[in-house]
Amino acid sequence: MARIIGGIGTSHVPTIGAAYDNRRQNDPAWAPLFKGYEPVAQWLAETQPDVMVMFYNDHANSFFFDCYPTFALGVSPNHAFADEGAGKRPLPDIAGHPDLAIHIAEHMIDDEFDLAIFQERPLDHGCNSPLSLMLPHEGGWPMALVPMEVNVLQYPLPTAMRCYRLGQSLRRAIESFPQDLKVVVVGTGGLSHQVHGERSGFNNTDWDLEFLDLIVHDPQRLAQMKHVDYVRLGGAESVETIMWLAMRGALGDKVREVHRNYYLATSTAMAVTLYEDEVTQ
């Protein structure tokens, strides 16, 4: 039987990938961020998951506003990465896991989540920016990826509670998969930031830190919040953090925070966190 061994929350700021590709890991402005990912990379190397399921959003590269699905699951045997206008990042393609992905699709649709299914759509920085910091990839990636796109761009968005329940459904799907697999679930996005309008450049560190506490100890409170609450507290684009709730829903009722790193050096508050179910300790 497949099982979830942990969850990861991470920002997906495109400049993270650009800094990595330009070898700025030791620059004073970037070192605190990159150092923050090292414990997560070490945990992944030690636990060796077979599959990573990642909740991410596409930034109008593979999906566009004329047809942007609420939830879309990638079932391809291979996933390429998108050229977002500045040239494709020097990353190899990553293998998918079609058997698990198809099982998840069938289970979640039976669970009344109406998923779109996609193949051969390249993954943009919503996925590849944090991925390149968490996993070695010269010569290939050490695990397969099952990507699940979430609409956090074009209203109406799925509610925070809907995303939390999506994660709960994912857990049931994974635990009903007969093959013996270790799975890690990742939620991406945020934290506080706004890139347009009168509040462009807005951040709220107090709220970011409260959010990081609540997602461990009281995710139901976060799930009950409305989009307008996320926008007011963290800026318009911070609504991306509902994807963290999808990840959290895939974990148990009680989790242990293994690692947290928070860094605000640009217009986006950036964080990476690692969780394990308490019952597995």
124-163 pLDDT per residue, tens: 988 888 999 999 999 899 999 999 999 999 999 999 999 9
- The residue ranges of DSSP E strands in 89-168, in sequence order, are 94-95, 116-118, 144-150
pLDDT of residue 280: 46
Distance separating the N- and C-terminal Cα atoms of the chain = 19
Q: What is the pLDDT of residue 253?
A: 93
Which residue would you say has higher pLDDT here, 108 or 126?
Answer: 108
Number of domains in the chain: 1
* Local confidence band at 88 (pLDDT 50, 70, 90 cut-offs): confident
Which pLDDT score is estimated for 281?
42
- Residues noted as catalytic: 125, 193
Averaged over 173-196, what is the pLDDT?
Answer: 94
Task: Say what the pLDDT of residue 107 is.
Answer: 97
Strands 144-150 and 51-56, bridge-based pairing = parallel
CA dihedral sign of residues 37, 38, 41, 43: negative
Q: Report whether pLDDT(21) > 50.
A: yes
pLDDT tens column, 232-242: 999 888 999 99
Instruction: Return the residue matching tokens 């930031």.
Output: 193
Using a cut of 0.85, tell me whether the model's pTM lies above it. yes
Domain that holds residue 224: 3-280
pLDDT of residue 212: 97
Least confident window among 131-135, 190-194, 195-199: 195-199
DSSP state of 112: T
Q: Given the structure tokens 């943009």, which residue do they identify?
A: 124
CATH number of the domain that residue 76 is part of: 3.40.830.10
Q: Identify the band that residue 250 occupies on the pLDDT scale cut at 50, 70 and 90.
A: very high
Q: Give dist(CA 276, CA 255) in Å, integer.
A: 6
